[in-house]
Structure 1
Amino acid sequence: MSYRVAVCYGKPDDPSAFDDYYTSTHVPLAKAVPGLVGFTWGKTKSLDGSEPPYYAVANLYFDDEASLQTGLRSPEMKAAGKDVRNFATGGVTMFMQEEVQQ
């Protein structure tokens, strides 16, 4: 089983500033987390054309629970977590899950 941390960003005050900061500063911080085996992110769109609840969602993947716990406790994750306040003016919701292949 793999594990995923999802980071859901609310609509920022300045989407262009969010995009610039996120890609140039925050993504490199997040990708430095030990144990990370995959990282994706993207802007959201709803299926029915309404405003989606999140502006963007990032996914951080870990091979197993031990790697996830190591990553979550690392100084690199703490640095990335502290950095969120520098750009996420729309708020952030985070959760983790065990990924199940069917």
Structure 2
Amino acid sequence: MSIRVCVCYGQPTNPADFDEHYEKVHIPLAKAVPGLTDYTWGKVSSMDASDPPYFAIASLYFADEASMKSGLRSEEMKAAAADVANFATGGVTMFVQNEESVLS
């Protein structure tokens, strides 16, 4: 089991600007958060013809709740959080999820 912070980004005003800033600035900031066991992100697409609810989703994984809480309080997370306003013009929805593999 692990714990995940999920960051869902709304449709940005300028997708190309979002991509450039996210890849060149935000990823290095977020990767520095202590306690991360994994960090993934990707663009979202619909399984039908509708518009997806989000533009992209990032997942920050921690081994346990204590590691997550420590990482979220860190100076590195504060820097990453402060950067969000620089590129996430479509808004952000965040939540925490305890994940458990059902295949193992």
TM-score range, shorter chain: over 0.9
* Whole-Å separation in 2 of the counterparts to 1:78 and 1:68: 13
Cα-Cα RMSD: 0.6
The TM-score normalised by the length of structure 1 is: 0.97
Q: Which residue of 1 aligns with 2:16?
A: 16
Q: Which residue of 1 aligns with 2:30?
A: 30
Give the 5 Å matches for 1:1-102. 1-102=1-102
One-letter amino acid matched to 1:26: H
- Cα-to-partner distance string for 1:56-86 (whole Å, 9 max, x where unaligned): 0000000111111110111111110110000
What is the CA distance between 1:38 and its match in structure 2? 0.4
What is the CA distance between 1:49 and its match in structure 2? 2.1
Provide the secondary structure at the position in 1 that maps to 2:41.
Answer: strand
Query: Gaps (5+ residues) in structure 1?
Result: none
Runs of 4 or more, structure 1, over 6 Å off, are: none
